Amino acid sequence: MNILVSGAGIAGLACALELGTRGHDVTVVEYARHLRLTGTPIDIRGDAIETAARMGLLAKIQKRRVRMSELTQFVDSQGEPVARIPMEQVSDSDDDIELLREDLVRILANALPDTAAIRFEDSIETLTDGDGDGGVDVRFASGRTGRYDLVIGADGQHSAVRRLVFGPEKDYLRHLGVYFALADHPGEAQSEGANSIYNVPSRMAGIFRYNGKAVAVFQFRSEPIDYDRHDLDAQKKILIDAFAGYRSWRIPELLDAARADPGFFLTSASQIHLPSWHRGRVALVGDAGYSPAYLSGRGTSLALTGARFLAEELERCGNDHTAAFARYEARQRPYVTFAQDRVDSGRDRMLPTTWAAIAARNKALQASGTGAP
């Protein structure tokens, strides 16, 4: 089949790999100029590990494994460790694999077969699904047009395919009351040491180090904020306003790193809940269809299993997309429900709302043994 995939993130690349190796002709359109390589380490868990093995990528992935969460500690305003991340509460098992998002993106992209190609700086502008007459007509932002047997929306939490086919984001997005921001911190890059997280009420600022690189990481609780996702300065201002009045530990220095970084990244912790992930010849995979929010630590695993189930079911159903999409959804839904149900403890541990709650969290972690500094 001639298949169009929107988005070259983990879900889009995994779809291109799984579909391309099964003989489909796959075109991936990505609106960025190149693969987007930012992001803190992500996790591959549970059956997504088997998916990576079936893709033939497990050895490469294992090689790039990092152990960042294990090296992360909560610190006080003097930078002294007060508690650790309790690994038994954040991982499913010792088999979980943590690796840099950029490494996984590269591993997937390098594994693409000749039948799959990525076209950068382009995106879907309109699509018309003539289900009965055998194809989806697509017009791209570049002015190109094309007809495809299937279209896969793997374009993330703010998916354009979802908007075009299922309607506005507000109908499906569930805000979890938290924002996450990330900035390079080149001044800190060469320094050694553990990863540090410092809390003030309803906020955390941290420094994470990996691969000779350091990043400033922030989370803060907030009601939904309306902003232009293409306006970098506006996004930086949201972060700076959220930390207004807080100058303890290294907060001012980390905010300066955010001000200076042209690759600054801000996102909300939001889930996508859709009653169905397919309509006609269009299906959604990854965050586009079922973002569990980064707080779950399971978005990447869902992207991998989703791509695999979709491709396997198309093969099993002899390219009968209606049957295949229904079977894909039936297999993937339990994983999504599980992941989306597991966000509250992460949020409460990371962002206690008062000084007293921060102290109580630290005390509980110290008492638990594995959370002691």
- 74 touching ligand FAD, by CB under 6 A: no
- 19 touching ligand FAD, by CB under 6 A: no
Q: What is residue 171's three-state secondary structure?
A: helix
Measured from the CB atom, is 9 or 371 closer to ligand FAD?
Answer: 9
DSSP at 125? E
Q: Which stretch binds ligand FAD (CB under 6 A): 27-35, 202-210, 231-239, 358-366?
A: 27-35
Q: What is the distance between the alpha carbons of residues 63 and 81, in angstroms, rounded to a whole number?
A: 30
- 299 touching ligand FAD, by CB under 6 A: yes
CB 94: neighbour CB atoms within 10 A?
7
Measured from the CB atom, is 18 or 30 closer to ligand FAD?
Answer: 30
Q: What Cα–Cα distance (Å) separates residue 257 from each residue in 68, 194, 197, 211, 241?
A: 21, 19, 16, 18, 15
Residue in 16, 48, 154, 343 binding ligand FAD, rule: CB under 6 A? 154
Q: Give the dihedral sign, CA 281/150/301/124.
A: negative
Residue in 129, 155, 188, 312 binding ligand FAD, rule: CB under 6 A? 155
- 257 to 276: interface string for ligand FAD, x by CB under 6 A: --------x-----------
Burial class (CB in 10 A: 0-12, 13-18, 19+), 113: middle
Smallest gap from residue 334 Cβ to ligand FAD (A) = 18
Smallest gap from residue 359 Cβ to ligand FAD (A) = 28
In this structure, the chain runs to a length of 373
Residue in 19, 20, 26, 40 binding ligand FAD, rule: CB under 6 A? 40
- 9 touching ligand FAD, by CB under 6 A: yes
- 184 touching ligand FAD, by CB under 6 A: no
- 127 touching ligand FAD, by CB under 6 A: no
Residue in 21, 38, 62, 222 binding ligand FAD, rule: CB under 6 A? 38
Measured at CB, which residue is nearest to ligand FAD? 9
Question: Alpha helices, DSSP H only, in the chain?
Answer: 10-20, 47-54, 58-63, 87-90, 101-110, 160-166, 232-242, 251-260, 287-290, 299-316, 321-340, 344-350, 355-367
Parallel, antiparallel, or unpaired for β 145-148 and 2-6? unpaired
Q: What is the distance between the alpha carbons of residues 74 and 81, in angstroms, rounded to a whole number?
A: 6
- 20 touching ligand FAD, by CB under 6 A: no
Measured from the CB atom, is 9 or 352 closer to ligand FAD?
Answer: 9
- 287 touching ligand FAD, by CB under 6 A: yes
Q: What is the distance between the alpha carbons of residues 192 and 73, in angstroms, rounded to a whole number?
A: 14
Smallest gap from residue 286 Cβ to ligand FAD (A) = 2
Q: In what order do the strands lie in the sheet with 145-148?
A: 124-130, 135-140, 145-148
Name the residue among 1, 357, 351 with its Cα closest to residue 180: 351
Q: Which stretch binds ligand FAD (CB under 6 A): 1-9, 203-211, 269-277, 313-321?
A: 1-9
Smallest gap from residue 5 Cβ to ligand FAD (A) = 9
Q: Which stretch binds ligand FAD (CB under 6 A): 230-238, 282-290, 331-339, 344-352?
A: 282-290
Parallel, antiparallel, or unpaired for β 282-284 and 278-279? antiparallel
What is the total count of residues that contact ligand FAD (CB under 6 A)?
A: 31
CB 77: neighbour CB atoms within 10 A?
12
Which parts of this chain interact with ligand FAD (CB under 6 A)?
6-12, 29-32, 36, 38-40, 42, 101, 123, 154-156, 160, 182, 265, 286-288, 294, 299-300, 303
